[in-house]
Structure 1
Amino acid sequence: MTPPPAPVSATPLATRGVGEIAFAESLPEAVTAVFWALTHLGNPYLLLALVALAYLFGDRVGLSRRSAAFALALGLCAIGLTVGLKHFFGLPRPPTSYRGDLGFPSGHALGSTVFWGGVAVLSTRGRWRRRLAAAGALVAIVCLSRVLIGVHYLADVVAGVAVGSAFLAVAFALGPGFDRGTRGGALATPDHGHVTALFAVALALGLAGLLVAPGESELLLGVGTAAGAVAAWHRFGRRAADTTIEPSGRALAVGGGGLVLALGVMSGTAKLADSAAVILVAGALGAVCLLALPLAVGERSGG
């Protein structure tokens, strides 16, 4: 008689430490405090705020508005991948972690790989090799911080980087493709259809994640945001991409205030609301507001 398969918790991955947790516990408190600060370079809400700022101000920060929207879609995809995979594997964090939820793969590692790697590919600032090197350094810092503050095993962050890198390669290869014909400039230039398609992929990944993690508020917010983004970008994405925002007090007040309000409502709802429907609606409305901000504060270019 064939024995039943071993539960996930009994697999070698469940005891996947290689001594890194003991090393982390031996570090001076001052060193740990530094890495507690550095770990926020992979915080999903910080990354959302950064890409929203890049989207609002467009080329002024080295990303076209269309590329910034593509980066936002990459981040939403990362949420669905992270939560879905964590619940699929069901592996806990180290016993030293202050958080008691699931740990494999690392969401910070996966998300920062997708975000910083995607921005490096999409940006027009500097040489692409330097951008990729800078992105790699940021991801490495985030990964190291997750291990040294005791919230992940080394295997968790390695898996997060691997999944994030693989997803980036597929997203760009099947979307805008790569162009290494110049030493500077963007390595990929997505068009309107690429952005719409990637928002739809983010929605599909989020819905798939809900099959294994139906009550996850972060995932519900991501699904709502992706759904709102698909509709909004399809409806007025071209106009938003062609809108020019001139620096002014009004632009800063309306644009900055709109960003703070939309992001605050989205994150606050995800943390405080008990209703899945409320979180989904907050995400959808937040996406519409964020993508429509250029239309509220700028002027459409003649091209």
Structure 2
Amino acid sequence: MRLEAQSAAIRELFPADYADLALAVTELGGSTGAMIVLALLFWLSSRHRRNTALIVSYAFAGLALLVALKSLIGLPRPPDAVLLPGAAGEADGYGFPSGHAFAAVVVYGGLLSAFDRRRDPRAVLAVGAVVVAVSLSRVVLGVHYLGDVIAGAAIGLAFLPAMNRLTRGDPTRGFAIAVVLSLSALAVAGATEDALLGFGGSVGGVLATLGIDDYGVPALRSRLEAATLVGLGAGGTVGVRALEAAVAVAPLLAGLYAVLVAWILLAPSAVARCSTAVFDSLAQRRGAS
């Protein structure tokens, strides 16, 4: 079922000298890599913020679902002997299905809808290439079998239309679904880091999206404002992530993750208000002069 022999053949085709390349590719399907991509798109694509926030909610709902599924199924990863150098940090927890393959389908496949590119062959091909590359990187690194990544991608393909139907385009509804799924993940898997990330991030998403009246406003008015938004947004995100190591209590860690997601979603509004205040002050000074 897990295609061990085929997995070994794939690993033999990939030289161990390129382990760093496989590690870089695999990050596109990891929680940090996906979060960076979604955060940048949310901050910089004013017209698509609502739909991008929806895909963020899918990512957290999917994370919770995969944590619960992995714990319920309980299949181990490949033996340590097949791990490529540097891949030990990727080999925690259970191995079936692959969360990275699932996340690549949900995040990048979801963005095709968010940016209305489902009928663009080049965009579809690019997303397919990312999904295949991330999936194969997991096999090459020795942290999954081929059957694991096929199952993860297949679950992702089923998960996307299900979430589309359940959320009806409402990010708050998506994060509420993620809260329910993350509670199930906590019950099944316990207070693991991924389960806490799913729960805290989902709660932060619900609270933040309830406070956003219109995702298309405010639009970015200049490159300086865009650069300021990315700088402050990234700085706040890095600061929150840096506190993870100092937080050992599960409720506090979940709260930290809630702050992280809320900051990502509310940063455009905060920067826009500051920018508006600056522009109004400059206009008043010019009028007075």
Considering the TM-score relative to the shorter chain, is it more than 0.5? Answer: yes
Is this contact kept in 2: 1:240–1:291, CA < 8 A? Answer: no
1:58-102 per-residue CA deviation (whole Å, 9 max, x = no partner) reads 24xxx6110111111111112101211111111111002422521
1:73 maps to 2:49 = no
1:231 maps to 2:218 = no
| TM-score normalized by the length of structure 1 | 0.80
Q: Once the 2 structures are TM-superposed, how far is the Cα of residue 131 of structure 1 from its aligned partner? A: 2.3
Give the counterpart of 2:114 among 105, 122, 128: 122
Query: Which structure is higher in RCO with an 8 Å CA cutoff and minimum separation 6?
Result: 2
Give the counterpart of 2:126 among 103, 117, 134: 134
Distance 2:40 2:129 in 1: 22
Match of 1:183 in 2: none
1:172-224 per-residue CA deviation (whole Å, 9 max, x = no partner) reads 13344xxxxxxxxxxxxx3xxx1111010111111110011122112202211
Q: How many residues align?
A: 267
- Aligned residue identity for 1:213: A
Match of 1:246 in 2: 221
Which is helix-richer, 1 or 2?
2
Match of 1:108 in 2: 100
How has the CA–CA distance of structure 1 residues 65 and 26 changed in structure 2, closer, same or farther, with 3 Å as cutoff?
closer
Distance 2:200 2:6 in 1: 40
Distance 1:287 1:38 in 2: 24
Give the counterpart of 2:252 among 268, 278, 281: 278
1:242-277 per-residue CA deviation (whole Å, 9 max, x = no partner) reads 211222435423x22332233224433445532111
Q: Secondary structure at the match of 2:93?
A: coil
1:220 maps to 2:196 = yes
Q: Secondary structure at the match of 1:298?
A: helix
Give the counterpart of 2:147 among 139, 155, 171: 155
- Aligned residue identity for 1:210: L
Please, which runs of 5 or more residues in structure 1 have no aligned partner? 1-12, 177-189
RMSD after superposition: 2.4
1:106-125 per-residue CA deviation (whole Å, 9 max, x = no partner) reads 11001111001100121145
Match of 1:43 in 2: 30
Is this contact kept in 1: 2:237–2:263, CA < 8 A? Answer: no
Is this contact kept in 2: 1:94–1:152, CA < 8 A? Answer: yes
Structure 2 matches for 1:142-221, cutoff 5 A? 142-176=134-168, 190=169, 194-221=170-197
Distance 1:100 1:131 in 2: 33
Is this contact kept in 2: 1:217–1:271, CA < 8 A? Answer: no
Is this contact kept in 1: 2:57–2:174, CA < 8 A? Answer: yes
- Aligned residue identity for 2:175: F
Distance 2:69 2:202 in 1: 19
Match of 1:34 in 2: 21
| TM-score normalized by the length of structure 2 | 0.83
Is this contact kept in 1: 2:117–2:124, CA < 8 A? Answer: no
